[in-house]
Amino acid sequence: MPVTCYTDEKKNIRFKLDTPASTYIMQTADTDGFLLHVYYGRRLKSMETDDLGRIEQHPFLPSGNERERCSFMDCAPFEYPTHGLGDYRDDAFSVLNENGHTATSFSYLKHRVYKGKPGIKGLPATFGKEEECETLEITGEDTANGLEITLFYTVFENTDAIARHVSIKNTGRYKNIKLTKVLSSCTEFYGDEYDTIFLHGSWARERIIDRKPLGYGKHYVSSLRGESSHQEHPFITLLSKDADEDRGDVYGFNFVYSGNFIAQAEKSQFDTVRVMMGINPVDFCWNLKAGEVFETPEVISVYSHEGIGGMTRTFHDLYRNNLIRSRYRDCERPILINNWEATYFNFDTEKLISIAKQASELGIEMLVMDDGWFGHRDDDSSSLGDWTVNEEKLKGGLKYLADEINKLGMKFGIWMEPEMISPDSDLYRAHPDWAIQLPDRKAAMSRAQYVLDLSRRDVIEYTFGQISRILKSANISYLKWDMNRQLTDVGSFMLDKEEQGELFHRYCLGVYELQERLVTEFPDLLLENCSGGGARFDPGMLYYSPQIWTSDDQDPVERLKIQQGTALIYPLSTMGAHVCDCPNHSTGRTTPFATRGYVALAGTFGYELDVTRIPEEDRRMIPAQVAMYHKYNKLVRNGDYYRVASYLENREWDCWEVVSKDKTEALVTIVNVIGRVNYKARLIKLKGLNPQKKYVLKYFDMNTGDEEKNGMTLYGDALMYAGINMTGDYHGDFKGRLLHINEA
C-alpha cells in the first residue's frame, strides 16, 4: 500500500507514503491540528520514528507551553508553512483579506485516500492509472479567513516519485480573498549538511549544472519572465555532501509549470532545511471569490539513495510514462532538416525544395520551414500575428510547397510563434489593446515584438483560429511552436484593476489552453516546443509536446554541457538536437561532422544546415548517420541513462551511456574535447550492466554506417569494475566514438 494512515491514542494521525525505495512521513499534532513533517528518505519498514521533537531546544508543543508558542512556531517542521503567526522562516501561503490582514493558518480537518490521480484543471500534470498510484488528500482549515486548504500527494507505486499540489477553497466567510502566495510544496529536512544543485544559464547556454554547499539563510532561483526561462530553472536538488553520480542521498524537486516560479532552500538557525517550490509570489495576486477553488501546479519530488544518476533515471521514467502524452512518445521521430541556420529569412519555395531534394536522397525524412514565411517578414521586425503566407517567397503557397516536399517522400513541418504580435502587423494596427502593455507607459519591445494578452478570450480564439487554419491548409506533420521574448510591462486592457495580479498566471493558462486544443484537434501532429532556444524546456510543456528545442547553441562542445544539464531531469527523447553547420553560428568553432552526429544522437536527431552547400565529405556521411539513428534511437529513447564522465567538470572529455531496461544492450558515447599528447585511449568504467552477463563490444563506423565485424567479448563485471580502454582516433580535438554493447 503506497499510503498508510494510523491514528494513535492521542488522536494524532500519521501518514506514511511509500514508493519502492523511499518513505515520506508526516503527522498531525496538538490541539491546533498542526500538520508536521516527520521524515523523507530511504524506505522505512514502519511508520514509527523517534518523536517529532528532534529540535533539541524546543521539544514541545504549544498546548504544553502556551507562553512560548512563538518558539514552537519558529522551529516546527510544518508541512505547509503559513504566514504571520510566529514562523519567521519563509512561508508557503499568504493572503490579503477584506480587513487588510495577511496571516494564514492550517489546522487538520480531514483526509481521504484513493487509487489513481486527479487531474488539475487547466494545468499540465503527471497522470497515473488506478493500479499505478494512490493519492492522499489532507485538508486543513483556516477559520479566520474562511479557507480550506487541501494538500495532494500522489504516490507512484513503481517509481520513487511523489506528485504534490495544493488547492485553496474560499468557504464564504469573505466574499473575496486575495491569494498573494500559494506555493505547491514544502519539505523539511533535519540537521544534515547538504549541497544544492541548481541549473542556471542564459540564451544559448541553458541549464548548466551548478552545485554548491548550502549555507544558512535563503537560497533560491526564480523567474519573473513569464516563462520558466533560460536563466534559472524550476528545479532544485538537495543532496548529501558525499553524494555523487552513483552514491548518496539525493532529493530532486521539479515544477510542472512554464511561468513564474520560485524554488528555494532555506537553512534555519537550528540547521533544519525547508525546501519550497511554487508560483512566484511576486506580482501574483489571485482573487478567490466565495465558493471558488484555486489549484496550484504540481511539484514532482524524487528521492534516490543511488546518487544523482538514480534521481535522473527516476525523472526520466516518470516523465516518459506518466507525463508525456503524445503518440510520438514511443516512436522514432522523423529525421528532420530545419532551414533556420541554413537560410535564416532568406529563402523561397525553390530554395526549400532544393534543400529537400538533396536531403531526401541522403535519407532525411522531413523538411521544416522555420521563421519568415508569412506577412512581409524578411527579418525579425514585423508580421507576427499576420499568419498569411508570403506568396512572394512561397510561390504557389503552403499547399504547393508541402505537396512538392511530400512528392520527394518527405514530411513537411512548419514554424509559428503564436503568442506574439509585431507592432508592424495588421493585427496590431487593428487591435493594439491585444498586446500586454501598461497604460501610460511605453512598452518595452524585445526582438521588435510584444506578447499577446492570452488572458483574453478573444485573443485565444483568434490565435487558435490562425493556427488551426494554417495546419489545415496543407499537409503539415510537424509544428515548431516558438516564443521569442519574455514578458514585461505586465498589464491587460481587459482585466480590471483588481485582476491585474492574475495576468502572469492567466497568461500561462492561456498557453496551456491553446496547446491542449491543438493536441486534441490535431492528434497526429508532432509538436516541438521552443522558446528562443530552450527557455521553456520544462515539464509543463512536455505534457503537450514530446520534444522541446534544447538550445539555439548547436555547437557539439557547448551541447555537451547543455545536454548534460537538461538530461539531469529530462529524458533524452525530449531533447531537440541537430547536426549543425560549421563553423558553428554561435561559437565559431569547427568540429568533425561525425562528432556533431554523435552528440545529436543523444536527442531527437536532425539537421540544421544547408545540405546543398556543406563539404562533400560531410554530405557523404549523412546516410551513415541516418543509419546510426535508426539503429540506436529505440535504445536512446527508452533506455536508462548513465553519466560516465563530464566535460563540465573535467574540462577534457565527456562520456555517457544508455542501457536497455533488460540490460542486454548498451550504447556508449565518448567525446574527447581536448586532445592530449600520448593519449590514445580513455579508461572507462561502464555502469548499469549485468555483472554476470557476457557482452560483445563493437564500435560504430561513421564512414560505413555499420558496426565493426568482430568485437571484443567481456563480462559485465569486467566492463564495470575493471573498465575498458576506449580506443580509436583521438589525435586532435573534438573527436568522438560510439560503442555498441550487446549480450553475447
Task: Give min distance, CB of 529 to ligand DGJ, in A.
Answer: 10
Output Rg (C-alpha) for the chain, integer angstroms: 27
Task: Give min distance, CB of 684 to ligand DGJ, in A.
Answer: 34
How far is Cα of residue 706 from the mean position of the Cα atoms in its chain? 34
Measuring CA to CA, how many Å separate 61 from each of 51, 69, 73? 12, 8, 9
Task: Give min distance, CB of 258 to ligand DGJ, in A.
Answer: 16
Residue number with CB closer to ligand DGJ (245 or 482): 482
Residue number with CB closer to ligand DGJ (190 or 345): 345
Task: Give min distance, CB of 176 to ligand DGJ, in A.
Answer: 41
Task: Give min distance, CB of 344 to ligand DGJ, in A.
Answer: 8
Residue number with CB closer to ligand DGJ (419 or 482): 482
Residue number with CB closer to ligand DGJ (305 or 411): 411
Is residue 618 annotated as a catalytic residue, yes or no?
A: no
How far is Cα of residue 513 from the mean position of the Cα atoms in its chain? 19
For the CA atoms of 573, 576, 580, 585, the dihedral, rounded to the nearest 10 degrees, stands at: -150
Binding footprint of ligand DGJ on the chain (CB under 6 A): 340, 370-371, 415, 482, 484, 530, 532-533, 549, 552
Out of 30, 424, 552, 610, the active site residue is 552
Q: Quick one: which of 507, 514, 473 has its CA closest to 489?
A: 507
Task: Give min distance, CB of 563 to ligand DGJ, in A.
Answer: 16
Q: Which residue is nearest to ligand DGJ (CB)?
A: 371
Q: Are 186 and 172 in contact (CB under 8 A)?
A: no
Residue number with CB closer to ligand DGJ (418 or 533): 533
Residue in the structure block whose three cell numbers are 557523404: 620
Residue number with CB closer to ligand DGJ (266 or 371): 371
- 630 is written with which cell numbers? 535508426
Distance CA 466, CA 479 (A): 13
Residue number with CB closer to ligand DGJ (3 or 352): 352
Is residue 453 annotated as a catalytic residue, yes or no?
A: no
Strand segments (E) across 173-216: 176-189, 194-200, 208-213
Q: Quick one: which of 373, 344, 362, 413 has its CA closest to 612?
A: 362
- 94 is written with which cell numbers? 499568504
Task: Give min distance, CB of 551 to ligand DGJ, in A.
Answer: 8
For the CA atoms of 587, 589, 591, 596, the dihedral, rounded to the nearest 10 degrees, stands at: 10
Name the phi and psi angles at 594, rounded to 5: -60, -45
Residue number with CB closer to ligand DGJ (507 or 549): 549
Residue in the structure block whose three cell numbers are 517522400: 409
Measuring CA to CA, how many Å separate 442 from each of 370, 489, 490, 491, 548? 30, 9, 12, 12, 33
Task: Give min distance, CB of 484 to ligand DGJ, in A.
Answer: 5
Distance CA 534, CA 536 (A): 6
Distance CA 404, CA 398 (A): 10
* Cβ within 8 Å of residue 300, ≥6 positions away: 126, 161, 162, 163, 164, 252, 253, 254, 256, 315, 318, 539
Q: How many CB atoms within 10 Å of residue 41?
A: 17
Residue number with CB closer to ligand DGJ (326 or 484): 484
Residue in the structure block whose three cell numbers are 563540465: 648
Out of 18, 482, 581, 610, the active site residue is 482
Task: Give min distance, CB of 533 to ligand DGJ, in A.
Answer: 5
Which residues are catalytic, by number?
482, 552
